[in-house]
Amino acid sequence: MYRKLNAEKVIETLEILTRRIKERFPESGLAKISIEMTNIGKEAHERSLMVGRPNIILRIAIGLIITVIIAAFVLALPSVKVESTNMGIVEFVHVLESGINDIVLIGAAILFLATVENRVKRSRMVDLMNELRVFCACN
C-alpha cells in the first residue's frame, strides 16, 4: 500500500483541480478554497524541505559542547587521587559508585545533546501537521 505522499504530485493535482474549478466556477467560494489549498500545499512542502535539511549551526554547537564535556572529564581524571593502601571495601564501593554515577550522567548528557536536532525537527513537523489539520477541520 501507499504509505508516503509525493508532495510534487499532490501540488500538481491541486493545481489541476484549481484550474478546472476556476474554469467552471470562476468567482465561487470553492475556487477560493481551492486556491488556498494549493498555496497551503506549496507552503507545507517548502517548510517540510526546510525541516529536512541539517541544521549545521546547531550541530556545530552541540559538537562543541560534547567536546568540552568530554575534555573536562578527561582533564579531571588525573586530579583524582586514590590511596589504595588504606581503602577498605566500603570506601572502594563508594568511590566506584561515584565514578560510575559520573560516567552515566555524562553519557546521559551527551545522549540528550545528540538528540536535540531530531527533537527540534519533530516539533516543527508537529506544528506544521497541526496547521494542516486545523485548516482541514475548519473548512
Cα(31)–Cα(14) distance, integer angstroms:
11
- 55 and 120 Cβ atoms separated by less than 8 Å: yes
* pLDDT at residue 77 in the model: 83
Cα(25)–Cα(45) distance, integer angstroms:
27
Q: Cα-Cα-Cα-Cα dihedral of 107, 110, 115, 117, to 10°?
A: 180
- 38 and 15 Cβ atoms separated by less than 8 Å: yes
pLDDT in tens, 58-82: 999 999 999 999 999 899 888 877 6
Of the chain, the percentage scoring pLDDT greater than 90 comes to 37
Per mean pLDDT, which range of 4-8, 71-75, 106-110 is the poorest?
Answer: 4-8
In the DSSP assignment, the letter for residue 122 is H
Summarize the confidence of residues 89-97 as an average pLDDT.
84
Region label for 60, one of left (φ > 0), alpha (ψ between -120 and 50) or beta (otherwise): alpha
Q: Mean pLDDT highest for which of 37-51, 59-73, 79-93?
A: 59-73
* pLDDT at residue 135 in the model: 67
Cα(46)–Cα(51) distance, integer angstroms:
9
Summarize the confidence of residues 108-137 as an average pLDDT.
85
Cα(87)–Cα(119) distance, integer angstroms:
45
Q: Mean pLDDT highest for which of 25-39, 100-114, 122-136?
A: 100-114
- 31 and 18 Cβ atoms separated by less than 8 Å: yes
* pLDDT at residue 82 in the model: 67
* pLDDT at residue 136 in the model: 64
Mean pLDDT score across all residues of the chain: 86
Nearest to 120 by CA among 68, 66, 54, 60: 54
